[in-house]
């Protein structure tokens, strides 16, 4: 195979490398590529539809004769189902069917678990019927408190084998040992020997805690299911992974996957909890399809907010004991011992920040365990494990920096090896005016000022998980002069259809509004789930290959029209095609297409480059990011305000500067919310969530959002033909950590527990004893 | 939510009589903000909602208006929305506390529907009370679940046997401003001091006010402003967009000859009723305003606090909030 030379790198660190391109692969857009449309800040195509309410979400789908379902949920955190009496519910007007989901003798493991379901002509009839189902339970002992659940005295949450839920994009850390009681160790991340690194070093050790965060997408989980005949099922699903919905329903109902059609025209937020036909803690998708089959009518089942909060997944909490040691500016040892609970589910690891960012440290151990509790299952949530791990580790690092008497940035620069992140630290420090700001916060702190200010910085790490062969894209040049791109990918909300249109416009040198993008439908060609920050880097290279192939065929067609060789056809920016003195416009050439279109179908090969630095030894690039945060703390009330976040991020070649910046804005807002207010509150005596709403489960609003400054570092990775990499997850990883470091700078005392509410801040200031933690 | 009938009656008496006849099944609707929340959560299931907005005539006008009274005071109708009150420029700055309290409650959209009467008479936000699965003292159960549960937002003053905090943001302002309220009952209109509208849980833990079934709050009556009267309202919240305060303070005073006089201090969201702080008033009455004396007064105000396990932070927080309100009310510069 022939070698192709491409330019990779970033900023002024660009070099030429030779790559072996897989067959049919377009030459990558590298550092030398001059692009007209890709990379530009182009508004998303459906923006007007969304803000005006004309975009129809799953919630808005209303089919003729459609029925409404509701699920009866256990109010108890642990119980055995003794009996289910559906007779009263069946008599309610409009009710078409009542079914049991849990059978007599089944165990209930958390408050909110599916027990039965009803379907009726109107939603209010369904809710009324759900309340009328009488379930008798035998109560069992339960545990919802993490620290207690990890002890031998705690009641066992799971009595049998644990079913592991795998979700696309959720890189599981895998079981590393045998379960003891409710505790189940994850595979440790280890290098060197920590005890060696502690010797003669300055050591900081402390315990850090993070809370359970719920996904709280504005559109709740839900589905509309319609049987077209016994063998064919069509659903509209609020999902971030159309094809896993299809495959799951096919499996449950024993259908051919191609006989299940899934539509997701618009999605009101995903964040990791919407990969399946159902939700992590409720089989609502199969319930809807089952009821649709039973009644012979389409059925809609959408969660209400209470259900959404208790049974559709969450980011697990953590209690992390962090030990970090250094000499001068060199880190000599890092150890993290962590437990966390994903409720009845798994996946409470703490990510890769402590292990894989400050790689000059020779001795590292990150050891974490899942602890089962009687609460709704955790699931993948925007960078699973990472924000919690980043918070604990980066704050510990700043506490060590204080002990060592070094500046936090100096310490990071001395131990990180990623060239892009090093650049982001240095460039960010200049833009942020780091030194002057730190001097000012010191002055306010030492003067015991009423209003303090503080600055912090933290790092992000992620991998370019772009998937090979997953996305199959068809590109057609149509007789009417438009170019149509088809792929079944869903838009999780990042604006992917706009980006795909940009690729088409770039390849064909055609106006953006002549590029049609069809998406959100499993009939349009297989595609990836939107998880692992991989949609853009998985789909855009396949789109480009399909477009380049269709273009080649189109040029052959033009050459024939002009009586020339394809190689002699020149393509002007205005769409004029000429060869040997003859010319034709693009529109004219399209009209003369034999049949309806010139079409090509293509996919994306495996990642073939990893500049400038691989991700944890894997053959893919590591994505770098650094965020700087500034806070203001009112010492009279303990209220923390996030004032400013400077987010410096790499996502390979930026495809669309506007939608990409939007993703970073979203990541920062989510991280700010996590840092300052979001928190599932459980009552450990009654085993229920006390704030299953969006009122006392607090999500940062406009007045809480800092000024966000986004700097996108274009990096040419040579990994795929568009150079796209991920940004969704990396952009939320360091926010809470940077804010916590900023609060430490403001107070001179760390707040080692998220969220940093007035209660915790006043405790850090010594105004009150520290409140009880998760233990 | 159960089906219900919306009833529009054109007179205050007809509305009142309709509810008094069957208060278990019928209730008044004004803004309907809290009422519909409770109905949707399954906490209340009235068959009939009697629309107060349908009341016409003199009573209706009084309930919907803000007007200066003959004695030099101001009357704020119970159906005036928080948004109207917050934006009512003619109300003299002497009453600033109530305008600020109205303007900082909830969100613009809620303030445009929520009424002054509804704000004063809404039910508590305690998450044990609001959770439809749980039976707490306020809903006829045996104990206040907050005592042994998660009580971070509960009362630090005047608690027991229920430890809710009164949810009204206007509450501390009307008490500090020495307002009265006018109530329509069986024997016509009567006017009582605002602090007598609120009932501590020792009286009846299932209610927060003293209105008899079928009685209607008609207006809040602000007394004539004292010469040189100033007032201020301040709060602290975990979240700055739409959240319930962790603590609030309202202050009314005059500053004559360099000393504070006619001082009234009330705290909100710290006790089951809007909490008048005589302790703070005693420290400050006749004192020259200063950051030091305000800190001392704030300490005195909270010296009687009895926090629960999870809400001790509200003691220093409420002190801080009160200090701000005292600085603002007396235009005393804040310390750096």
Spatial contact of A736 and A677, defined as CB atoms under 8 Å apart: no
The answer on A451 and A476 residing in a single domain is: no
- Based on the domain organization, do A473 and A455 belong to the same domain? no
Rounded CA separation A546/A473 (Å): 6
Same domain (yes/no): A446, A474: no
pLDDT at A171: 40
For residues A545 and A480, membership in a common domain is answered with yes
- What ipTM describes this predicted complex? 0.98
3-state secondary structure of A701: coil
B110 touches chain A (CB under 8 A): no
Residues A100, A287 contacting (CB under 8 angstroms): no
Q: How far apart are CA A645 and CA A386, in angstroms?
A: 18
Same domain for A438 and A515? no
CB of B336 within 8 Å of a chain A CB? The answer is yes
Give, as one character, the DSSP assignment of residue B195. G
3-state secondary structure of A663: helix
- Name the residue facing A636 among B315, B324, B336 (closest C-beta): B324
Last residue of a domain, one of A112, A128, A147: A147
Work out the angle between the directed axes of helices B314-330 and B291-302 (0-180°, nearest 10).
140
Partners of residue A636 in chain B, C-beta under 8 Å: 316, 319-321, 323-324
Beta strands B5-7 and B48-51, pairing class: parallel
Number of other CB atoms surrounding residue A52 within 10 Å:
8
Q: What six digits make up the tokens of B298?
A: 């704030």
pLDDT tens, A272-289?
999 999 999 999 999 999
Domain final residue, candidates A147, A182, A215: A147
A578 shares its domain with A709: no
- Stated as kind and residue range, the H or E segment containing A195 is helix A194-198
Same-domain check for residues A546 and A683: no
Q: A115 lies in a domain?
A: yes
Contact A668, A732 (CB under 8 A): yes
> A48 at the B interface (CB within 8 A)?
no
Q: Which of A506, A438, A549, A408 is nearest to A23 (CA)?
A: A549
Cα–Cα nearest to A746, from A459, A410, A456 = A456
Q: End-to-end CA distance of chain B, in Å?
A: 52
Give mean pLDDT, residues B107-124: 98
Task: Tell the burial category of A542 from Cβ atoms under 10 Å away from its Cβ (0-12, 13-18, 19+).
Answer: buried
Strand order in the sheet with A95-100: A95-100, A114-120, A67-73, A299-302, A222-229, A232-237, A260-263
**Predicted local confidence at residue A775, as pLDDT:** 40
A706 and A665 both lie in a single domain: yes
Question: A647 and A710: one domain?
Answer: yes
**Dihedral of the CA atoms B106, B109, B111, B113 (nearest 10)?**
-130
Residue A323 · residue A198 · CB < 8 Å: yes
Q: Are B241 and A700 within 8 A, CB to CB?
A: yes
Strand order in the sheet with A715-716: A13-20, A3-10, A715-716
User: Which residue from B128, B134, B334 is facing A450, i.e. has the nearest CB?
Assistant: B334
Q: Judge if A698 and A634 occupy the same domain.
A: yes
Q: Are A19 and A607 in contact (CB under 8 A)?
A: no
Instruction: Tell me, yes or no, whether A561 lies in a domain.
Output: yes
Q: Tell me, yes or no, if B298 comes closer than 8 A to chain A by beta carbon.
A: no
What is the CB-side half-sphere exposure of residue A280 using CA atoms within 13 A? 36
DSSP state, A26?
P
A residues 394-453 closer than 8 Å to B (CB) = 447, 449-450
Number of C-alpha atoms within 13 angstroms, CB side, residue A111? 24
CA distance A154 to A373: 9
8 A C-beta contact, residue B28 and residue B49 = yes
Residue A179: its pLDDT value, please? 78
In angstroms, the CA B279 to CA B170 distance is: 21
Residue A209 lies in a domain: no
Q: What residues in B contact A632, CB-CB < 8 Å?
A: none
Q: Are A738 and A619 part of one and the same domain?
A: yes
Q: Does A686 touch chain B (CB under 8 A)?
A: yes
CATH number at residue A77: 3.90.1170.50
Tokens for A687?
A: 């085993």
* pLDDT at B181 exceeding the cut of 80: yes
Rounded to whole angstroms, the Cα distance separating A569 from A593 reads 17
- Domain check: are A642 and A731 in the same one? yes
Mean per-residue pLDDT, B207-228: 97
**Would you say residue A282 lies in a domain?**
no
Name which of A479, A484, A480, A478 is nearest A497 in CA terms. Answer: A484
- A683 touching B, CB under 8 A? yes
**Cα maximum dimension of chain B:** 62
What CATH number has the domain bearing residue A515?
Answer: 3.30.365.10
Which chain B residue shows the shortest CA-CA distance from A699? B239
User: For residue A372, how many other CB atoms are within 10 A of its CB?
Assistant: 27
Query: How would you classify the pairing of strands B74-77 and B66-68?
Result: antiparallel
Instruction: Determine the Cα–Cα distance for residues B202 and B161; give it in Å rounded to an integer.
Output: 6
Q: Locate tokens 């993290």: which residue?
A: A336
**Which option is the CATH number for B230-330: 3.30.70.2860, 3.40.50.300, 3.30.390.50, 3.20.20.110?**
3.30.390.50
Scan for tokens 């595979």, then name that residue: A187
pLDDT, average across residues B160-189: 97
* Three-state secondary-structure class, residue A165: coil
Helices (H), A515-656: 535-562, 586-591
A345 domain residue, yes or no: no
Which positions in chain B touch A73 (Cβ < 8 Å)?
none
Cβ-count burial of B241 within 10 angstroms (0-12 exposed, 13-18 middle, 19+ buried)?
middle
Write down the pLDDT at residue A164. Answer: 56
Strand partners, A715: A10
Sign of CA dihedral B238, B244, B246, B249: positive
> Angle of helix A657-676 relative to helix A735-747, nearest 10 degrees?
50
Q: Which residue has the tokens 């090509």?
A: A600
Distance (Å, rounded) from C-alpha B65 to C-alpha A60?
40
SS3 (DSSP) at A710 = strand
CB B208, CB B123: distance < 8 Å: yes
Residues B6-10: what's their mean pLDDT?
A: 98
Contact between B131 and A690 using a beta-carbon 8 Å cutoff:
yes
The domain of A83 spans: 66-147
Q: Answer yes or no: are the C-beta atoms of A468 and A604 closer than 8 Å.
A: yes
- Nearest-Cα distance to chain A for B206, in Å, is 20
Chain A with chain B: Cβ pairs closer than 8 A: 108
Low-confidence ranges of chain A (pLDDT < 50): 166-176, 774-775
Residues 71-100 of A with CB under 8 A from B: 75
Q: Tell me the chain B residues in contact with residue A700 when contact means C-beta distances shorter than 8 Å.
A: 239, 241
Using the Cβ of B200 and the Cβ atoms of chain A, whether some distance falls under 8 Å is answered with: no
Per the CB < 8 Å rule, is B239 touching A700? yes
Whether CATH 3.30.465.10 fits B58-222? yes
Answer yes or no: are the C-beta atoms of A728 and A659 closer than 8 Å: no
Q: Which residues pair with A19 in a beta bridge?
A: A4
**Residue that terminates a domain, selected from A114, A147, A180:** A147
Are A632 and A456 a contacting pair, CB within 8 Å?
Answer: no
Which residues are bridge partners to A309 per DSSP?
A: none
State both tokens at A303: 């969660």
Establish if A121 belongs to a structural domain: yes
Q: Which two tokens stand for residue A201?
A: 């070093």
Q: Do the bridges between strand A107-108 and strand A134-139 make them parallel or antiparallel, or are there none, so unpaired?
A: unpaired
Calculate ∠ Cα A676-A681-A686, nearest 5°.
170
What lies within 8 Å, CB to CB, of A34 at 6+ separation is none
Domain boundaries, chain B: 58-222, 230-330
CA dist B135 and A609 (Å) reads: 61
For an interface test with B, the pick among A307, A310, A672, A758 (most B C-beta atoms closer than 10 Å) comes out as A758
Place of tokens 């002549």: A514
Query: Is residue A299 included in any domain, yes or no?
Result: no
Side-chain half-sphere exposure of A291, counting CA atoms within 13 A:
32
Map A316-337 to HEC letters: CCEEEEEEEEEECCEEEEEEEE
Q: CA-CA distances (angstroms) from residue A395 to A75, B88, B202?
A: 39, 48, 47
How confident is the model over B282-319, as pLDDT tens digits?
A: 999 999 999 999 999 999 999 999 999 999 999 999 99
Same CATH fold assignment for domains B58-222 and B230-330: no
C-alpha–C-alpha distance, residues A246 and A559, integer Å: 43
What is the per-residue pLDDT for A284?
Answer: 97
How would you class A690 by CB atoms within 10 Å of its CB: exposed for 0-12, middle for 13-18, buried for 19 or more? buried
Position A309 in a domain: no
């Amino acid at each position: 195979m022939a070698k192709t030379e491409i330019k990779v790198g970033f900023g002024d660190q660009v070099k030429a490398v030779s790559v072996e391109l897989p067959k049919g692969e377009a030459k990558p857009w590298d550092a030398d590529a001059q692009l007209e449309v890709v990379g530009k800040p182009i508004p998303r195509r459906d923006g007007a539809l969304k803000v005006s309410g004309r975009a129809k979400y799953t919630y808005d789908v209303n089919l003729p004769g459609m029925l409404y379902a509701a699920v009866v949920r256990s109010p108890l955190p642990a119980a055995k189902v003794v009996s289910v009496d559906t007779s009263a519910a069946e008599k309610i007007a409009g009710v078409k069917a009542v079914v049991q989901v849990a059978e007599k003798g089944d165990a209930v493991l958390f408050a909110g678990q599916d027990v039965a379901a009803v379907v009726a002509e109107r939603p209010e009839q369904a809710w009324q019927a759900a309340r009328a189902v009488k379930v008798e339970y035998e109560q069992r002992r339960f545990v919802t408190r993490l620290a207690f659940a990890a002890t031998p005295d705690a009641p066992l949450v799971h009595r049998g084998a644990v079913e592991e839920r795998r979700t696309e994009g959720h890189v599981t850390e895998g079981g590393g040992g045998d379960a003891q009681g409710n505790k189940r160790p994850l595979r440790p991340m280890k290098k060197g020997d920590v005890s060696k690194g502690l010797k003669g070093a300055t050591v900081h050790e402390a315990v850090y805690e993070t809370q359970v965060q719920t996904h709280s997408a504005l559109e709740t989980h839900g589905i509309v299911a319609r049987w077209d005949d016994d063998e064919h099922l069509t659903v509209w699903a609020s999902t971030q992974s159309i094809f896993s919905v299809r495959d799951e329903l096919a499996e449950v109902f024993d259908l051919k996957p191609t006989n299940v059609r899934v539509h997701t025209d618009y999605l009101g937020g995903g964040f990791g909890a919407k990969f399946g036909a159902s939700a992590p803690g409720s089989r609502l998708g199969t319930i809807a399809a089952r009821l649709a089959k039973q009644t012979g009518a389409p059925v809609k089942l959408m969660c209400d907010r209470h259900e959404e909060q208790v049974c559709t997944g969450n980011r697990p909490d953590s209690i992390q004991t962090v030990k970090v040691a250094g000499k001068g500016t060199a880190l000599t040892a890092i150890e993290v011992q962590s437990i966390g609970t994903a409720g009845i589910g798994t996946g409470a690891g703490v990510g890769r920040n402590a292990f894989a960012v400050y790689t000059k440290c020779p001795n590292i151990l990150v050891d974490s365990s899942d602890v089962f509790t009687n609460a709704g299952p955790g699931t993948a949530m925007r960078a699973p494990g990472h924000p919690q791990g980043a918070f604990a580790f980066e704050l510990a690092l700043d506490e060590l920096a204080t002990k060592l008497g070094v500046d936090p940035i100096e310490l990071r620069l001395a131990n990180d090896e990623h060239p892009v992140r090093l650049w982001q630290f240095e460039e960010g420090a200049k833009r942020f005016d780091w030194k002057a700001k730190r001097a000012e916060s010191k002055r306010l702190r030492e003067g015991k000022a009423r209003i303090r200010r503080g600055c912090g910085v933290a790092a992000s790490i992620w991998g370019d998980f772009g998937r090979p062969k997953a996305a199959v894209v068809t590109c057609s040049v149509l007789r009417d002069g438009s170019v149509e791109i088809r792929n079944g990918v869903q838009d999780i909300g990042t604006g992917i259809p706009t980006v795909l249109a940009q690729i088409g416009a770039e390849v064909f040198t055609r106006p953006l509004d002549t590029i049609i993008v069809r998406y959100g439908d499993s009939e349009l060609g297989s595609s990836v789930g939107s998880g692992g920050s991989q949609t853009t880097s998985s789909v855009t290279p396949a789109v480009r290959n399909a477009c380049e192939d269709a273009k080649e065929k189109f040029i052959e067609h033009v050459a024939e029209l002009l009586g020339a060789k394809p190689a002699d056809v020149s393509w002007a920016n205005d769409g004029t095609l000429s060869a040997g003195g003859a010319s034709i416009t693009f529109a004219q050439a399209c009209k003369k297409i034999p049949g309806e279109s010139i079409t090509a179908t293509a996919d994306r090969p495996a990642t073939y480059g990893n500049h400038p630095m691989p991700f944890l030894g894997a053959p893919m690039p590591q994505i770098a990011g650094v965020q700087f945060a500034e806070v203001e703390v009112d010492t009279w009330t303990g209220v923390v305000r996030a004032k400013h976040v400077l987010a410096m991020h790499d996502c390979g070649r930026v495809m669309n500067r506007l939608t990409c910046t939007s993703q970073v804005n979203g990541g920062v807002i989510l991280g700010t919310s996590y840092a300052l207010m979001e928190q599932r509150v459980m009552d450990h005596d009654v085993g229920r969530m006390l704030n299953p709403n969006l009122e006392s489960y607090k999500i940062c609003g406009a007045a809480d959002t800092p000024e966000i400054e986004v700097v996108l570092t274009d990096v040419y990775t040579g990994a795929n033909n568009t150079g796209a990499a991920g940004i969704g997850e990396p952009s939320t990883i360091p926010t809470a950590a940077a804010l916590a470091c900023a609060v430490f700078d403001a107070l001179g005392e760390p707040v080692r527990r998220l969220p940093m509410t007035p209660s915790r801040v006043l405790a850090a200031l010594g105004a009150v004893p520290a409140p009880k933690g998760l233990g | 939510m159960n089906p219900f009938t919306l009833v529009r009656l054109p007179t205050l008496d007809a509305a009142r009589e309709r509810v008094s006849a069957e208060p278990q099944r019928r209730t008044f609707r004004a803004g309907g903000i809290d009422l519909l929340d409770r109905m949707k959560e399954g906490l209340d299931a009235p068959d009939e909602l009697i629309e107060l907005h349908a009341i016409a005539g003199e009573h209706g006008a009084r309930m919907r208006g803000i007007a200066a009274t003959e004695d030099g005071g101001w009357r704020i109708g119970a159906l005036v929305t928080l948004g109207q009150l917050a934006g009512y420029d003619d109300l003299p700055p002497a009453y600033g506390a109530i305008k600020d309290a109205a303007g900082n409650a909830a969100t613009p959209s809620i303030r445009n529907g929520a009424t002054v009467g509804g704000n004063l008479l809404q039910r508590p936000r305690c998450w044990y009370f609001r959770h439809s699965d749980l039976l707490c003292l306020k809903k006829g159960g045996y104990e206040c679940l907050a005592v042994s549960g998660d009580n971070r937002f509960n009362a630090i003053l005047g608690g027991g046997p229920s430890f809710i905090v009164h949810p009204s943001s206007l509450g501390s302002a009307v008490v500090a401003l020495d307002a009265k309220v006018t109530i329509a009952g069986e024997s016509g209109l009567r006017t009582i001091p605002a602090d007598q509208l609120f009932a501590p849980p020792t009286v009846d833990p299932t209610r927060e006010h003293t209105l008899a079934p079928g009685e209607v709050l008609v207006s809040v009556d602000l007394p004539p402003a004292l010469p040189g009267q100033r007032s201020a309202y301040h709060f602290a919240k975990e979240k700055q967009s739409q959240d319930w305060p962790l603590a609030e303070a309202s202050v009314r005073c005059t500053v004559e000859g360099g000393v504070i006089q006619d001082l009234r201090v009330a705290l909100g969201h710290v006790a089951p009723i809007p909490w008048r702080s005589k302790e703070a008033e005693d420290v400050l009455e006749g004192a020259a305003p200063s950051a030091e004396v305000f800190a001392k007064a704030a300490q005195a105000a909270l010296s009687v606090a009895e926090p629960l396990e999870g809400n001790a932070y509200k003691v220093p927080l409420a002190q801080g909030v009160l200090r701000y309100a005292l600085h603002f009310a007396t235009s005393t510069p804040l310390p750096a």
